[in-house]
């Protein structure tokens, strides 16, 4: 790799050709503050926090977009630079709602952190006219408070470029500029897919998930309720970040211990439901192979993707697997099989999902998600909401001794764990489908071609003489590109996995918020996913169909995969496409 020699703060350094000042400083262990910058998504130099001096250039330059050249002399820490950044913060604060103590991001706000660094206090800077905006809580999964917005446009970039939805953008101009939907519609009135990616990139408390923790506290205090909690595969490798543990730390044991101390009656693992998902999904795929279609079959685990498909590609609804997501399958089993087993009236069961995903809040209220006549899942909380419950309960998370899930819904196969990473659902399904076609156990358990954080992955496998072409996409923009190829006839696949969030659930919109200084330079997706694959490798059973729990419940209660009872409890329907007149 070609290198450029530059000087930063009097020290001779090198950086790759084509780097910006910001990137060059970072590789030489110097941090330059930013508020609007998101690598490869929002490189607009708008916030002015990254201004630096360059010898021979009169004005300060925005380091996030200014390229380095051979021999460039850069100063990032001069008094001039410090005062300019401080003034920018003061101007931002002049239109910012400063209710920091009650803010959801208090203590984890990038604006707050920078104000502390640059000695900006809570005085009234640049008094004058100010805009006031109505609180928008019209959406099921999140709210927007433009009074806290700093117009960094990160949310806009993610919604448009990463997710290809673009339901938000800057409205009006100049002093009246604000982020909103077209024609000033509320977020609940547009085709937002509820992915929550805008939340995890927001530097302030302008947008956040709707907190439903009080509903759970109320249920826990209700003596008539038997409260069951389930935890999604990826939550165990991200929750630790909310307690300052390194990215990718697996805290499964501490998480279980914390949930018990909060007061849940049973602490179960959604990974077990992921194994059931594979049993049903693999069976559905093999039925399509026998019937020669319709192809491709799309996975249905990601509610953000399902919502996108219904709104933007209704012609593909027949191609969606009818399987409920693992969260919903788990709830359905709790309120049918578990209720019968424990002699509990389903109305007295309260099921809580701990999910990496804000779209799960939307999923629980979808039609045909009530196998026992009551909602399969009562409340879906994000990883962030669980962290707040742990804090509220006064639990010293990092000091907890590891505990294990309750049985029998606590022993999952390795296939269940990898659901949290892009490609994991596909690999888990292929493990079961390949052996079902073969009629016997196969030596190979890993399908590594569908692994990794690349946005689109393709593979072709020979399964017992049957050629199967598969594809995996994560992030809706990548899904959109893949769909365009499929619908144009450019590509053909038998089976396609799509996750709404880039990298899959490990990078979901409900995961702990990491500042841009981490998000831009640390591969969160890869580190978190690596922990799930390590857990998979450690398991004695790595194929869903080999799970004793799964085998027992099918034999005792569900019957055959894809059978009438299993279909009633574990499958769903989708919104009918609107016919064009």
Label residue 410 exposed, middle or buried (CB < 10 Å: 0-12, 13-18, 19+): middle
Class of domain 110-209: alpha beta
- Of the pLDDT bands very low, low, confident and very high (cuts 50, 70, 90), residue 346 is very high
Q: Is the pLDDT of residue 125 over 80?
A: no
Is the CB of residue 225 less than 8 Å from the CB of residue 373?
Answer: no
Pairing of strands 379-382, 266-269: unpaired
How does DSSP classify residue 571?
Answer: B
Label residue 82 exposed, middle or buried (CB < 10 Å: 0-12, 13-18, 19+): middle
- Of the pLDDT bands very low, low, confident and very high (cuts 50, 70, 90), residue 577 is low
Q: For the residues 227-239, what does the mean pLDDT come to?
A: 98
- Quick one: which of 394, 403, 452, 428 has its CA closest to 269? 403
| CA distances, 110 to each of 116, 514, 515, 551 (Å) | 10, 10, 7, 49
Q: For the residues 420-442, what does the mean pLDDT come to?
A: 93
Q: Is the pLDDT of residue 545 over 90?
A: yes
Q: What is the number of helices (H) and of strands (E) in the chain?
A: 20, 17
For residue 580, the model assigns a pLDDT of: 42
For residue 581, the model assigns a pLDDT of: 38
114-117: long-range contacts at Cβ-Cβ below 8 A with a sequence spacing of 24 or more? 114/33, 114/35, 114/49, 114/85, 114/89, 115/89, 117/33
**How confident is the model over 3-12, as pLDDT tens digits?**
999 999 999 9
DSSP-assigned beta bridge partners for residue 179 = 170
Range scoring the smallest mean pLDDT among 340-354, 441-455, 528-542, 565-579: 565-579
**How confident is the model over 388-419, as pLDDT tens digits?**
999 999 999 999 999 999 999 999 999 999 99
Rounded CA-CA distance 177/198 in Å is 18
Range list of H helices, 229-302? 252-262, 270-291
**How confident is the model over 359-396, as pLDDT tens digits?**
999 999 999 999 999 999 999 999 999 999 999 999 99
Rounded CA-CA distance 31/117 in Å is 13
From the candidate CATH numbers 3.40.50.2000, 3.40.50.1820, 3.20.20.10, 3.10.20.740, the one assigned to the domain spanning 3-77: 3.10.20.740
Q: Which phi and psi angles does 76 have, rounded to 5°?
A: -105, -10
Rounded CA-CA distance 277/470 in Å is 18
**Helix (H) / strand (E) containing 29:** none
Range scoring the smallest mean pLDDT among 93-97, 321-325, 421-425, 523-527: 93-97
- For 406, left (φ over 0), alpha (ψ -120 to 50), or beta? beta
Q: Are both 110-209 and 214-570 of the same fold?
A: no
- Quick one: which of 167, 170, 160, 107 has its CA closest to 142? 167
Q: What is the DSSP string of 525-542?
A: HHHHHHHHHHHHHH-S--
For residue 345, the model assigns a pLDDT of: 98
For residue 579, the model assigns a pLDDT of: 52
Rounded CA-CA distance 500/199 in Å is 14
Question: Where exactly are the structural domains of the chain?
Answer: 3-77, 110-209, 214-570
Is the CB of residue 268 less than 8 Å from the CB of residue 410?
Answer: yes
**How confident is the model over 432-477, as pLDDT tens digits?**
999 998 888 888 899 999 999 999 999 999 988 889 999 999 999 9
For residue 295, the model assigns a pLDDT of: 96
- Of the pLDDT bands very low, low, confident and very high (cuts 50, 70, 90), residue 123 is confident
- Does domain 214-570 match CATH 1.10.287.3510? no
- Quick one: which of 496, 500, 462, 437 has its CA closest to 164? 500
Q: Is the pLDDT of residue 483 over 60?
A: yes
- Quick one: which of 152, 149, 128 has its CA closest to 46? 152
Rounded CA-CA distance 362/307 in Å is 9
Q: What is the DSSP string of 160-178?
A: IIISS----EEES-GGG-E
Q: Which residue has the higher pLDDT, 440 or 429?
A: 429
Contacts of 367 (CB under 8 A, 6+ apart): 573, 575
Range list of H helices, 118-153? none
State the CB neighbour count (10 A cutoff) for residue 408: 14
What is the strand order of the sheet 495-499 is part of? 297-298, 495-499, 466-474, 456-463
Q: Is the pLDDT of residue 578 over 60?
A: no
Contacts of 123 (CB under 8 A, 6+ apart): none
Q: What is the mean pLDDT of the chain?
A: 96
- Quick one: which of 485, 210, 236 has its CA closest to 354? 236
Contacts of 46 (CB under 8 A, 6+ apart): 36, 151, 152, 153
């Amino acid at each position: 790799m070609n290198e450029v020699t530059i000087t930063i703060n009097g020290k001779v350094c090198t950086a790759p050709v084509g780097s910006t000042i910001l990137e060059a400083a970072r590789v030489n262990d110097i941090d330059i503050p930013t508020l609007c910058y998101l690598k490869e998504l929002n490189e607009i130099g708008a916030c002015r926090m990254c201004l630096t001096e360059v010898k021979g250039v009169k004005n300060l330059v925005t380091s996030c977009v200014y390229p380095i050249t051979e021999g460039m002399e850069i100063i990032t820490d001069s008094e001039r630079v410090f005062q300019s950044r401080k003034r920018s913060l003061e101007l931002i604060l002049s239109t910012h709602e400063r209710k920091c103590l009650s803010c959801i991001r208090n203590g984890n706000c990038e604006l707050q952190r920078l104000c502390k660094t640059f000695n900006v206090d809570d005085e009234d800077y640049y008094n004058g006219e100010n805009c006031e905006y109505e609180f928008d809580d019209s959406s099921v999964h999140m709210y927007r408070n433009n009074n806290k917005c700093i117009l960094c446009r990160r949310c806009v970039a993610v919604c448009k470029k990463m997710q290809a939805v673009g339901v938000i953008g800057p409205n009006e101009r100049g002093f009246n500029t604000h982020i909103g939907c077209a024609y000033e519609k509320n977020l609940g009135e547009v085709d937002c897919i509820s992915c929550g990616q805008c939340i995890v990139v927001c530097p302030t408390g302008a947008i956040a998930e709707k907190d439903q923790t009080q509903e759970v506290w109320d249920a826990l205090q209700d003596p008539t309720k038997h409260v069951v909690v389930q935890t999604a595969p990826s939550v165990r490798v991200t929750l630790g970040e909310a307690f300052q543990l390194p990215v990718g730390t697996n805290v499964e044991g501490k998480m279980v211990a914390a949930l018990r101390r909060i007061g849940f009656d049973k602490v179960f693992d959604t990974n077990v439901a992921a194994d059931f998902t594979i049993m049903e999904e693999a069976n559905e795929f093999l039925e399509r192979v026998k019937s020669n279609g319709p192809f491709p079959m799309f996975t249905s685990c990601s509610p953000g993707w399902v919502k996108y498909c219904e709104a933007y590609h209704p012609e593909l609804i027949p191609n969606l697997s009818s399987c409920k997501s693992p969260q919903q399958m788990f709830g359905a089993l709790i309120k049918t099989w578990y209720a019968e087993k424990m002699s509990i009236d389903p109305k007295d069961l309260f099921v809580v999902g701990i999910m990496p995903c804000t779209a799960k809040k939307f999923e629980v209220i979808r039609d045909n998600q009530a196998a026992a006549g009551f909602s399969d899942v009562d409340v879906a909380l994000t990883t962030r909401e669980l962290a707040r419950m742990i804090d509220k309960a006064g639990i010293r998370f990092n000091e907890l001794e590891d505990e294990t899930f309750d049985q029998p819904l606590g022993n999952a196969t390795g296939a269940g764990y990898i659901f949290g990473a892009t490609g994991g659902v596909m690999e888990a399904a292929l493990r079961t489908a390949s052996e079902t076609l073969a009629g016997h156990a196969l030596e190979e358990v890993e399908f590594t071609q569908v692994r990794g954080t690349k946005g689109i992955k393709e593979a072709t496998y020979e399964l017992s003489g049957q050629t199967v072409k598969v594809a995996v996409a994560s992030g809706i923009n990548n899904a959109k590109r893949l769909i365009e190829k499929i619908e144009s006839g450019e590509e053909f696949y038998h089976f396609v996995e799509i996750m709404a969030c880039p990298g899959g659930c490990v990078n979901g919109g409900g995961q702990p918020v990491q500042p841009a200084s981490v998000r831009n330079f640390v591969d969160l997706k890869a580190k978190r996913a690596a922990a799930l694959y390590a857990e998979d490798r450690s398991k004695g059973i790595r194929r869903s169909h080999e799970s004793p729990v799964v085998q027992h419940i099918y034999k005792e209660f569900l019957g055959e995969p894809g059978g009438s009872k299993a279909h009633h409890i574990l499958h769903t329907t989708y919104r009918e496409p609107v016919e064009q007149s």
